[in-house]
Amino acid sequence: GAGVSQSPSNKVTEKGKDVELRCDPISGHTALYWYRQSLGQGLEFLIYFQGNSAPDKSGLPSDRFSAERTGGSVSTLTIQRTQQEDSAVYLCASSLVESQPQHFGDGTRLSIL
């Protein structure tokens, strides 16, 4: 069955470049989440979309990070002027509604040189 799909699976870029990470959630899931996971660490919440409500951006670490969700489905996380500390795995998850179990993609491993 179709799960959460993230692309690209790996991204290597130079410091200062902008990157876009894509997430295709499970069809029909109204809630979509972005997390960041540094090597061997737990999950750091970034941003959360629920239906047509204003997104919860409280976890975004700086104004270089932004995300959008078009048509209540696909989401794009954009990091502008990347820094080396942005290197991490970025995970996307979706759930049927808020508070229900989340289904995760396999993440995008981002490396900033």
Partner 1 sequence: SQQGEEDPQALSIQEGENATMNCSYKTSINNLQWYRQNSGRGLVHLILIRSNEREKHSGRLRVTLDTSKKSSSLLITASRAADTASYFCATDARFQKLVFGTGTRLLVSP
Q: Show contacts with partner 1 in window 17-36 (CB under 8 A).
A: 33, 35
Round to whole Å and give the CA distance between 78 and 39. Answer: 21
Binding of residue 48 to partner 1 (CB under 8 A): yes
Binding of residue 106 to partner 1 (CB under 8 A): yes
Round to whole Å and give the CA distance between 3 and 57. Answer: 24
How many residues in the shown chain lie near partner 1 by CB under 8 A?
21
Span from 14-22, 71-79, 80-88, 103-111 in contact with partner 1 (CB under 8 A): 103-111
Considering the complex, state which of residue 1 and residue 42 has its C-beta at the smaller distance from partner 1.
Answer: 42
Round to whole Å and give the CA distance between 16 and 103. Answer: 32
The gap between the terminal CA atoms of the chain, to the nearest Å, is 36
Q: Footprint of partner 1 on this chain (CB under 8 A)?
A: 4, 33, 35, 40-43, 45, 48, 56, 91, 93, 98-99, 101-107
